[in-house]
Structure formats: structure tokens, C-alpha cells
Amino acid sequence: MEFRRPRGTRDFLPDETRRRRFVENVMRRTFERFGYEEIQTPTFETLELITAKSGEEIRSHLFHFKDKSNRDMALRPEFTAPVMRLYVNHLQTKPKPLKLYYFGNCFRYERPQSGRFREFWQAGVELIGSGYPEAEAEVIALAVETLRELRLKDFETHVGHVGILRKILEERGVGEEHQNIIMGLIDKGEKEQLELLLDKLKLGEDKDLVHKILGLRGGDEVIPKAASLLEGKKAQEEIEKLGQMLEKLRDFGIKDYRVNLGIARGLDYYTGMVFEIYDNKLKAQKQICGGGSYSLAEVFGGEPIPTCGFAFGFDRVVMAMEAERARYGEEDEKRFLIVTTGEKLLSKAIDISRMIREKFPCEVDLMRRRLGKALKYADSKGIPFVIIVGEDELKRGRVILRDMKTGTQREVPIERIIDVL
Ligand code: HAM
């Protein structure tokens, strides 16, 4: 009987795992350079936490189960809610801002397709305690910098603001529940349903305004255009905030963004600036990053506090690396295989491997292969250097070092092996 893995999950073989680890390390390094510290949260949480202010999109795709005490639990579909719970439980009194980052697997029961999985990974950050435009701008800048560090080129950063639409609706007496449904329909592109609901809510001329705002996208000229459309409305304040934030974003060296007031995001907790990054080389599921400003601490019993963050769809970033043929770093470029010309020399080979391993990855041939076969094995595994321990050389205190790329060999004194590399 053959066992198959569950739909929407994947196995990662060594080559792919190595590439994924490289991307993960670049992300971690970049987050840390901006002052973020890593945290970890449980893989499952109470259903109540996960569904609070999460939105229909998340709720309808949960892996949800009852534990043996009949409590409702869910595998985490994202990190923002768990991180805010962690903040309320442990970190409320710490100096602000708090800069937290995470890396881990998430679960959504979606229809699997290219770039959409049931188990996928997110790498993200949450900035807690500053609502200033420079804080929001720094968060977007960090996302873009991370992709630049990975040498991705063909991506677009779209920046919007859900507060504008929420304020228009609020001023018309539309409550939060309906606002959330509207945002969800916009996010999913369900135009007919949206029309029906907007008609039902009797928005008058503001229905037209909603459509005009949603259609606004382009460069910085969008800001004054939107401001004049919103003349005399509460929502005008929100567009001004977005303008100030974009100014700071330019200070961070990010100038090639697009203003896109049509972004709604699929989660209910967003309140202000929102952004999404798309990779143009990906065919389906181009969105590699999403984030924005939100309000959740008070939902979990904490004091209200400004918060913003983002999460990379880690798997999609890796796919974008492949699609853009971005280069993976030359980490572990120096790797070694040690082979002997006879079993008697194995102890010496193991001895040498321990010395080399202090500095570089090194393995001893464990199959007692003859030299020719060992070289083939090194080649197939992409190991760039082979050390051959032979009797004659050993008598002189030396071994042979073979460069697999060029095929050249030379004798080196054992005690100097690490120095000559
Ligand atoms: P999200 O847009 O739902 O936002 O997810 C973030 C990213 O995760 C998406 O842009 C996408 O790349 C990736 N993603 C989502 N679902 C899947 C899937 N089924 N398969 C593969 N990749 C997927 C959030 O989760 C927010 N918590 C982001 C955030 C952090 N906002 C503020 N702070």
C-alpha cells in the first residue's frame, strides 16, 4: 500500500530545503538589521482567538478541530492574531515600539493550486506602539529591502488605505459588520455581490464616490485627486495621512511604489494604511507579501495601541526566486568529501574530517568507495572539494586536495589544510 501526503502539503528534498533555508536566512538577517527580535507562538490556538476580527476569507478556510476536552481549536492560518495575544499576555508594559518577527508554517484549507497550499510558510513582522507615518513607512521599506536583499527585481509594491473607505461608509451610518463584508467582497473581486450590497445600504451619491475611490491608482498624483473627491468628508483626513506616510517612504529610499486605493485586504482587522507586493514573474498567485495597520490588542483584552506589520508568503517568494532566476548565495561554497585509498586509512580520514569541520562542512565517504566512484558521488552532490588520503602521501604528512570544478589536484600538508583553503 502506498501512502500519500495530504493534499496541499509538500515534502522538501535537500536541494529545495537548502534554497529555502538560504531565503529564510536572508529574511531573518534583514529583519534583525532593522531591530526586530524573533518570537514563536503555538501552532494551534483557540478557535475564538483565530476567528476574532479575522474575516470570512479566513473563517471559511480553517483547519478546526475539537480537543479531547471538547474545546474548539484551530491551526494558525496567520500570525498577527497570535502575536497580538502574546503581546497582551506578556509584553504590554515593555518600552515601545516593540519590534517582533516570526517565521513558521500556517494552515488554510484552500483549493490547492500553484502558489496556494494548505500548509504554507510566512515570514513577517509586527511593529507595536507607534502609529507615526515614519513607523508605517519603515515597515513597508523593510518588506521592499528584504526582497532587494534577495535580488528580486520584478515586483510591484501597491500602497492603499482602508481607512478612507471605512470612513465614507461610517459617515453614512454603515456599521463595522457591513464594512467588513464590503471589504471582503472588494478583496475577492466579487463585483455583482458588492453592487447588490451597496444598493441595499442606500448610500446615495456616495456609492459613486466609493467606486471612484476604488478605481484610483497610479503615482503620487492620486493623493490630491482623492483629496478633492473627498472634500468636506471625514475621510479626507485619512488620505492626508496616507500622503504623509508616502513622503516618509520616499525618505527610506522607496520611490517605485504605486498608490492603489482599490486594495481592501482579506482580513477584518485592518484600519489604515495597507500594502501588497506582487511579483510579475509569477503566473498565478502573484501576491508575495501583504500587510498594513490594524487594531487588535483591545480585541484580546489589552489597551488599544497602534500596530502595523506584514507577512511574506515565504513559499511564493521562493517561487519568485526561481521564476526570476535570482541567484542563491554561495553559502557553503567550501564543502569537502574525504576518501581514502584503503580501509586502513579510515581512522586518519575521520581525524582529518574533525579538523576540517571546525571551519567547513565535511563528510567522510561512508560507503568504502574506490576513488573513481567517490569522485562521481562528489560530483553528483555538487561537493566542490575532495580530499584523498593515500598511503604514500600520508607518509610525508600530506594529503591530496582535488578541486572538482577544474579537476586539478595538489598535495598539501595535513596540518595546513585549513589554511590553504
Ligand atoms: P495575508 O495576505 O492573508 O496576510 O497573507 C500574507 C501572505 O501569505 C500572502 O500575501 C501570500 O503571499 C501568503 N499566503 C496566504 N495564503 C497562502 C496559501 N494558501 N498558500 C501560500 N501562500 C499563502 C496575513 O496573513 C496578515 N497576517 C499579514 C499581516 C501581518 N498584516 C499585518 N501584519
Q: For residue 313, how far is its CA from the centre of ligand 1 (angstroms)? A: 6
- Joined together, the cell numbers standing for residue 227 give 483629496
CB atoms within 10 A of CB 133: 19
Geometric angle at alpha carbon 111, from 110 and 117, rounded to 5°: 65
Partner residues linked to 103 by β-bridges: 123
State the Cα–Cα distance between residues 352 and 88, nearest whole angstrom.
52
Ligand 1 site-directed mutation target among 10, 58, 78, most atoms within 8 Å of CB? 78
- Joined together, the cell numbers standing for residue 240 give 492626508
Contact 269, 295 (CB under 8 A): yes
> Pick from 364, 337, 334: which is nearest to 351 by CA?
364
Partner residues linked to 411 by β-bridges: 400
Partner residues linked to 104 by β-bridges: 122
Ligand 1 site-directed mutation target among 10, 108, 122, most atoms within 8 Å of CB? 122
State the residue for C-alpha cell 538560504.
22
Q: List residues near ligand 1 (CB under 6 A).
A: 78-80, 108, 110, 116-117, 120, 122, 124, 126, 266-267, 287-292, 294, 309-311, 313, 315-316
399-403: long-range contacts at Cβ-Cβ below 8 A with a sequence spacing of 24 or more? 399/352, 402/375
Residue owning the nearest CA to atom 13 of ligand 1: 313
- Joined together, the cell numbers standing for residue 318 give 521562493
Q: For residue 39, how far is its CA from the centre of ligand 1 (angstroms)? A: 18
Amino acid at 143: A
Ligand 1 site-directed mutation target among 120, 276, 286, 315, most atoms within 8 Å of CB? 120
**ω into 42 cis (within 30 of 0):** no
Q: For residue 330, how far is its CA from the centre of ligand 1 (angstroms)? A: 29
Partner residues linked to 260 by β-bridges: 217
Contact 139, 236 (CB under 8 A): no
Contact 122, 103 (CB under 8 A): yes
Ligand 1 site-directed mutation target among 119, 287, 308, 317, most atoms within 8 Å of CB? 287
**Size of the chain, expressed as the number of residues it contains:** 421
Q: What is the pLDDT along the chain (421 residues), one digit of tens a residue?
A: 899 999 999 999 998 999 999 999 999 999 999 999 999 999 999 999 999 998 888 999 999 999 999 999 999 999 999 999 999 999 999 999 999 999 999 999 999 999 999 999 999 999 999 999 999 999 999 999 999 999 999 999 999 999 999 999 999 999 999 999 999 999 999 999 999 999 999 988 899 999 999 999 999 999 999 999 999 999 999 999 999 999 999 999 999 999 999 999 989 999 999 999 999 999 989 999 999 999 999 999 999 999 999 999 999 999 999 999 888 875 557 899 999 999 999 999 999 999 999 888 999 999 999 999 999 999 999 999 999 999 999 999 999 999 999 999 999 999 888 776 6
Confidence at residue 331, expressed as pLDDT on a 0 to 100 scale: 52
Nearest ligand 1 atom to the CA of 294 is 32
Q: For residue 146, how far is its CA from the centre of ligand 1 (angstroms)? A: 16
**ω into 97 cis (within 30 of 0):** yes
Q: For residue 93, how far is its CA from the centre of ligand 1 (angstroms)? A: 29
- Name the pTM for this structure: 0.91
Sheet holding 44-46, edge to edge: 44-46, 72-75, 64-66
Q: For residue 265, how far is its CA from the centre of ligand 1 (angstroms)? A: 10
C-alpha distances in angstroms, 191 versus 166, 198, 214, 371?
18, 10, 12, 67
Confidence at residue 328, expressed as pLDDT on a 0 to 100 scale: 81
Confidence at residue 384, expressed as pLDDT on a 0 to 100 scale: 93
State the residue for C-alpha cell 522607496.
254
State the Cα–Cα distance between residues 174 and 265, nearest whole angstrom.
19
Residue owning the nearest CA to atom 10 of ligand 1: 289
Confidence at residue 332, expressed as pLDDT on a 0 to 100 scale: 53
Q: For residue 245, how far is its CA from the centre of ligand 1 (angstroms)? A: 23
Q: For residue 168, how far is its CA from the centre of ligand 1 (angstroms)? A: 27
Distance, CA of 150 to chain centre: 12
Nearest ligand 1 atom to the CA of 317 is 12
Q: For residue 122, how far is its CA from the centre of ligand 1 (angstroms)? A: 7
* Integer Rg of the chain from CA: 27
Q: For residue 276, how far is its CA from the centre of ligand 1 (angstroms)? A: 10
Confidence at residue 330, expressed as pLDDT on a 0 to 100 scale: 59
